[in-house]
Amino acid sequence: MTATDTEIRTLKFFVNGEWRDGGADLHPVTNPSTGEVIARVPYANDDEIDCVAVAAHSAFLKWREVPVVDRVQVLYRYKDLLEKNLEQVARILTTENGKTLDDSKGSVRRAIQMVEVACGMPSLMMGQSLENVSKGIDCHSIRQPLGVCAGISPFNFPAMVPMWMYPFAIACGNSFILKPSEKVPLTPTRTAELLQEAGLPDGVYNLVHGGKTAVDALIRHPLVRAISFVGSTPVAKYVYETSAAHGKRVQALGGAKNHLVVMPDANPGKAVEAIMSSAFGAAGERCLAGSVLVAVGDSSPVLDLLLEKTRSLRVGDGLAAGSEMGPLVSAQHRKKVVGYIEKGVAEGAEPLCDGRTHGAEGDDGFFIGPTIFDHVRPGMTIAREEIFGPVLSIIRVKDLDEAIALVNGSPFGNTTSIYTGDGKTAREYAARIEVGMVGVNMGVAAPMAFFPFSGWKQSFFGDLHAHGRDAVAFYTEQKVIMTRWF
């Protein structure tokens, strides 16, 4: 496609069941594999956010009266439409995000699982009851929707992360406003069209685009009752604090620095497969990406094989057959990741494999190859900060205790995996580690839709986690009713 101005699509907001033009504040959306501008996205201002919040609130007043068994019928149809359009949605996702098509398909599959679980809302939303709590008095509890809920999502999972939120919120009887990442607005546009086709009443789901202005307006708006945020730690912390100050219920999932612990008894072939997928899948642009490999004792069989496989990883356009790793999302992000590699070298780490040899600034796409640093020390910048690129730092430690102390010393606590052939070691690691999601011989230990998803420490601000039963609790208010008849 040649992206001339006349061919470039300008995206719209989806408000109250209508596709509406945004204002003149338009920003380009690029294909990271080619650098081409593929769309323009309008950024919402305060008035536009007010308009969508008012529409979502009046839709909520009707939607909450619809029985839950009827509400989930829309989600059954949505699931069917997502299944039928999975390939198309995944292609759109790869075109704006860069990850490989297989990876995109996997994430859309995960998104569909969220809808499947939300279809179980008639059971999930049930309260409790107990007769005769006092003489002649019965007691029961119910869950009721909150009102207008808003979601703010990051660039790396434009189908899945928003679906951690809105299928649950809507099934609970709320209305919803999504403000996805301005870098990847095309996937949420397509998934909103499918939700419209599924027959959701006007205004129950709304889509707006933009950056900080739109987020701040949502947080401040008196009709918005709850904020679900997923993104980097500084913004998560800001959104958590500001939303709480405005009286909102809030869950804010932040960034990460994930450790992969390799024991000397790990199966080299299986461990390397898992480490490669964790560190280099989606070009390291995952909150669950392994970023520090903690080699316990003599782990040379794993490290030797890892280096050999990493050197032959095929980097290319995510849509091209055979590509195992796509580009980074933007030229700016590539520059940031290159900056981290430069810092690693400057601070004395040893690059065994240097991703800067793939692609360069000024190229059309935003490619970079996988990078492995050896002899990294815990105090180095590349060992401490989230890089969000395909850069793996090896830190050598003598035993499991030292590995656990290292991982628990991180301010983040999103995910970690241990590779070992010994059940006792794995059990001890899982018990002692201060991290929210733990894998044993896993690549990416991402909890499925029916479990909760969240890290600890600086990786999460809030109480109730994403999806699973936590989502039902987050998107509902509990009421306890005591009854006596004379």
Active-site residue list: 287
Going by C-alpha positions, the residue among 307, 306, 292 that lies closest to residue 352 is: 307
Q: How many other β-carbons are positioned within 10 Å of the β-carbon of residue 182?
A: 18
Q: For residues 358-394, b (16+ Cβ closer than 10 Å) or e, as one string?
A: bbeeeeebbbbbbbbbbebeeebbbbeebbbbbbbbb
**Whether 164 contacts 193, CB under 8 Å:** no
Q: Is the dihedral of CA 99, 101, 102, 107 positive or negative?
A: positive
- The dihedral through the CA atoms of 355, 359, 361, 365 has a sign that is negative
- CA terminus-to-terminus distance, the chain: 76
DSSP 200: P
Strand-pairing partners, residue 444, are none
Measured torsion, CA atoms of residues 87, 183, 49, 166, in degrees rounded to the nearest 10? 40
- Closest distance between ligand NAD and the C-beta of residue 356, in Å? 21
Closest distance between ligand NAD and the C-beta of residue 115, in Å?
19
Q: Is 222 helix (H, G, I), strand (E, B) or coil?
A: coil
The torsion angles phi and psi of 32, rounded to 5 degrees, stand at: -65, -20
What is the rounded distance in angstroms from the CA atom of residue 83 to the CA atom of residue 88?
A: 10
∠ Cα 272 273 279 (to 5°): 80
Residue 148 parent element (H or E)? strand 148-152
Unique residue bearing structure tokens 């849509």: 319
Neighbours of 137 (CB within 10 A): 13
Q: Which residues bind ligand NAD (CB under 6 A)?
A: 152-157, 161, 179, 181-182, 211-212, 215, 230-232, 235, 238, 253-256, 287, 386, 388, 414, 455, 459
User: CB of 288: closest distance to ligand NAD in angstroms?
Assistant: 8
To ligand NAD, the closest distance from the beta carbon of 461 in angstroms equals: 10
Give the residue with the Cβ less far from ligand NAD, 103 or 386.
386
Shortest Cβ 238–ligand NAD spacing (Å): 6
Helices 423-432 and 400-408: angle between axes, nearest 10 degrees? 30
Residues 6+ apart with CB under 8 A from 458: 233, 237, 254, 255, 411, 412, 413
| CB closer to ligand NAD, 106 vs 127 | 106
Strands 350-353 and 371-374, sheet pairing: antiparallel
Distance CA 112, CA 75 (A): 10
